[in-house]
Structure 1
Amino acid sequence: MKTNKRKIINDPVFGFITIQSEFIYDLIEHPYLQRLRRIKQLGLSNIVFPGVNHTRFEHAVGAYYLMQLAISSLQMKKVNITEEEAEAVSCAILLHDIGHGPFSHALEHSLVDGISHEMISLLMMEELNRQFGGRLDLAIRIFKNEYEKRFLHQLVASQLDMDRLDYLRRDSFFSGVTEGVIGSDRIIKMLNVRNDSLVVEYKGIYSIEKFLIARRLMYWQVYLHKTVLSAEHMLVKVLQRAKELVMGGHDLFATPGLKVFLEKRVTIDCFVNQSVDEKKNLLELFVELDDSDLISAMKQWQNHEDKILAYLAGAVINRKLFRIKVKNSPFAPGKIEKIKSQIQQRWGVADDELDYFLIHDSITNSVYASEGDKINILMKSGKVKEINEASDINLSTLSHMVRKYFVCYPKELDIN
């Protein structure tokens, strides 16, 4: 009996999404994609925004839906996109985040060393391509920006791609932060192509201005919210301590996949060249990891004999987070030394363990990098202008890198 693969998904943000090809359905059904149901889109942000429990899977399907709208709109404007290219670019956007580890960006460089989720996504796409007999060849070329039609890559990864158009709408919807609502439908309908590059027709310029401002507000209100920063940096410290203990010979509770990543320093060469055992290579073990591996481990670690690991794991699990202070300028060295002194007096930790109780770093936010991949406006005259030049409001401040400084430490300390 043949399975009907033309399914409809009821999405809370965009409504009914139709899966338009059997191959796309097979990709969605693959364990690599289904794994994304178990990875939250915004990591620990639900500590602040209780409704933010949506997953990478929902985001992938939403971005796929927007890609269908973009392809249809461009084809109506006589932009040459073949059926093969349409399917390939749809596959590329569907798989663009497939390499995310547990809690998305929070642990991107903790489980693995110097490997971005994009690099792991590509490794997973290449493995899927092998399993599907080369069906993803063109999708991978588009993903890597190696295909002759460069505008197709821009639909997947640029300053105005389907990824951003989905996550702003979706994250705004689930967080309740209405400042992030954008007119994604109108932006897509205003897309066109000139000189093998995406442009936005002049009638859509106000939607682009709103998009840039909304992105700035979402970063400060949601993605870089100070309490979320505290929680996610504490989660990084939990994993750092666990890895230090395991590599030092201590036995910690961990799922088989997680244990491998705690036992060694994992680089890109490990993924390419190393088999962990006869049955599973490192990529297969990475695919086994999701948020539940970390949650179940931390529930056990909060009772561990190592006081640092127990304290940090319990704090994350029970939302007993570090106090965080944010400033526009660096904290004075004397302030940092005062905190260090109080930490050592209270917990008696060694100098090399202070970093587990004191986190000080900086965050940056640059909404629009005008020196790189630009957002271009197609003027009524047919001339193409960069958004800063075309807009009648001053958007140049959105191109500036804003840096803020923060310090996190236990709330038990009485520090003014």
Structure 2
Amino acid sequence: MAAPNKKKILNDPVYGFITIPTELIYDLVEHPYFQRLRRIKQMGLADYIYPGALHTRFHHALGAMHLMGQAMQTLQSKGHRISDAECEAAQIAILLHDVGHGPFSHVLESSLLDHVSHETISLLLMQELNRQFDGRLTMAIRMFDGTYERPFFHQLISSQLDMDRMDYLNRDGYYTGVAEGAIGAERIIKMLDLVDDQLVVEAKGVLSVENFLNARRLMYWQVYLHKTSICCESMLVQILRRARFLIRQDADTGQSVSAPATFELFLRESVSLLDFQTDKKYLNAFTQLDDYDVWGSIKQWALHPDQVLSSLCRMLLDRHLFKIVLSTEPFDDGLVQELTSQLRQAGVLEEDISYFLVEGQATNAAYLPSQERINIKLKSGTVIDIAEASDLSNVHVLTNIVRRYYVCWARGLDIFATVDQQPVS
């Protein structure tokens, strides 16, 4: 029987045809860990604002792998020695860089786990895949965690000008319809070069890098940190917070709030990195989690007898969203006290007000030269930072951390008035 053809071509709406270049990469794409990313939306709840934002982490990972392949070809064409094994490893590393994301991507990262980042879980899953594939991912893992002897590979995977950012800006701009997300990734990649195995951009690519940084700033405030996104995400976090509270009230049986077993595990327990490292059940359970577990639970919880949980769930399902106020300065106590008073009048108990009134802050900086710099190679061969190479004053402005404070709260003073449905038996 003939061996199956594992060099597939996929039609991507952003880049056109994408090739899966090797059999190992094909097998990784087919693996359940990676297929799970089909069931995790790239932008969480952004479709509540931009209805087209329904693409998934699966799309994004394949797109980033495609861009990595282009970067390898560019660097090889400029005379840099990069072996076939290194090319494959770099594409594997970027393909799997988000495999550790949980449901709703970044939204629930700090709600489901106890200070365990998605990058940490991605590394754990890559290590598990390396065991399953007889050590064939060792080089990719070293590139991913920054221990490989040629640092530019890690810079292409995780830096301020990496293939991850190039794809998500392009892709998120495309699916939201926000034209400012277009960054000219192909031109930036064509301008990449190496100096002492460090990633640089040729001087004639400065304008493209400036556009990339501007696009990132605009996309954050217009899309990722859009005020309605903040409201949606705050509501989802409070729903999980309430469900966790109710489940832990009945710690012996965990039956006060029903959920899929793997989802309930992370609601009932505070799972730390040590737990992942010492008990395989947590990593196995995590690889079963996706957006559908959360949405299915929310639909069921909308009929729960607990008024706080059911009200929050119905509000999110019906897009009856919190109202929000943004400010460049912290809010005075008077506003919070007034909103608290309104919620009391609506019938919200004192101990439950924090579920319907959320304070926080959002920060963004398009470029942080104190971290991994974006280096520009001048015609003379000198390497300088993009902030020095650019003649635009706003590149320096982009290095400033912008902070916005917000208060969001439940609108409508009758949020408990319609609790007349009975839970499903």
TM-score (normalizing by structure 2): 0.95
Hey, what's the Cα distance between the residues in 1 that align with 2:413 and 2:402?
30
* 1:317 shift after superposition: 1.3
Corresponding residue number in structure 2 for 1:53:
54
Corresponding residue number in structure 2 for 1:359:
358
Hey, what's the Cα distance between the residues in 2 that align with 1:287 and 1:317?
25
Hey, what's the Cα distance between the residues in 1 that align with 2:279 and 2:381?
54
Corresponding residue number in structure 1 for 2:264:
259
Corresponding residue number in structure 2 for 1:192:
193
* 1:46 shift after superposition: 0.1
Corresponding residue number in structure 1 for 2:287:
287
Hey, what's the Cα distance between the residues in 2 that align with 1:259 and 1:122?
24
2:4 counterpart SS class: coil
Q: How does 1:3-402 map to 2 (within 5 A)?
A: 3-249=4-250, 250-275=255-280, 281-350=281-350, 352-394=351-393, 395-402=395-402
Hey, what's the Cα distance between the residues in 2 that align with 1:324 and 1:289?
30
2:112 counterpart SS class: coil
Hey, what's the Cα distance between the residues in 2 that align with 1:194 and 1:287?
39
Structure 1 runs of 4+ with >2 Å offset: none
Hey, what's the Cα distance between the residues in 1 that align with 2:157 and 2:279?
30
Structure 2: state its 5+ residue gaps: 415-425
Pairwise CA RMSD: 1.0
The answer (yes or no) to whether the contact 2:7–2:26 under 8 Å persists in 1 is yes
1:97 counterpart SS class: coil
The answer (yes or no) to whether the contact 2:345–2:413 under 8 Å persists in 1 is no
TM-score (normalizing by structure 1): 0.97
* 1:353 shift after superposition: 2.1
Q: What does the per-residue CA deviation read over 1:173-225, in whole Å, with 9 as the maximum and x for residues that have no partner?
A: 00000011111000000000012210000111100010000110000000000
Hey, what's the Cα distance between the residues in 2 that align with 1:372 and 1:43?
27
Hey, what's the Cα distance between the residues in 1 that align with 2:315 and 2:141?
41
2:111 counterpart SS class: coil
Hey, what's the Cα distance between the residues in 1 that align with 2:347 and 2:278?
43
Closer/same/farther in 2, CA of residues 80 and 59 from structure 1, 3 Å limit:
same
Structure 1 counterpart of 2:98, one-letter code: D
Structure 1 counterpart of 2:179, one-letter code: T
1:167 counterpart SS class: helix
Hey, what's the Cα distance between the residues in 2 that align with 1:139 and 1:28?
15
Hey, what's the Cα distance between the residues in 1 that align with 2:391 and 2:285?
52
Hey, what's the Cα distance between the residues in 1 that align with 2:348 and 2:167?
48
Hey, what's the Cα distance between the residues in 1 that align with 2:344 and 2:271?
32
Hey, what's the Cα distance between the residues in 2 that align with 1:333 and 1:306?
30
Hey, what's the Cα distance between the residues in 1 that align with 2:358 and 2:216?
27
Hey, what's the Cα distance between the residues in 1 that align with 2:413 and 2:227?
18
Structure 1: state its 5+ residue gaps: 276-280
Hey, what's the Cα distance between the residues in 1 that align with 2:315 and 2:343?
16
2:361 counterpart SS class: strand
* 1:246 shift after superposition: 0.4
1:399 counterpart SS class: coil
Hey, what's the Cα distance between the residues in 2 that align with 1:307 and 1:411?
16
1:40 counterpart SS class: coil
Structure 2 counterpart of 1:374, one-letter code: R
Corresponding residue number in structure 1 for 2:404:
404
* 1:407 shift after superposition: 0.5
Structure 1 counterpart of 2:259, one-letter code: A
1:403 counterpart SS class: strand
* 1:83 shift after superposition: 1.1
Corresponding residue number in structure 2 for 1:278:
none
1:253 counterpart SS class: coil
Hey, what's the Cα distance between the residues in 2 that align with 1:115 and 1:338?
36
Out of 308-317 and 37-46, give the one that drifted further. Answer: 308-317
Number of equivalenced pairs: 408
1:303 counterpart SS class: coil
Out of 266-275 and 291-300, give the one that drifted further. Answer: 266-275
The answer (yes or no) to whether the contact 2:113–2:272 under 8 Å persists in 1 is yes
- State the identity %: 51
Structure 1 counterpart of 2:357, one-letter code: L
* 1:348 shift after superposition: 3.5
Hey, what's the Cα distance between the residues in 1 that align with 2:371 and 2:126?
26
Structure 2 counterpart of 1:368, one-letter code: Y
* 1:10 shift after superposition: 0.3
Q: What does the per-residue CA deviation read over 1:212-245, in whole Å, with 9 as the maximum and x for residues that have no partner?
A: 0011000000000000110011101100100110
The answer (yes or no) to whether the contact 2:326–2:406 under 8 Å persists in 1 is yes
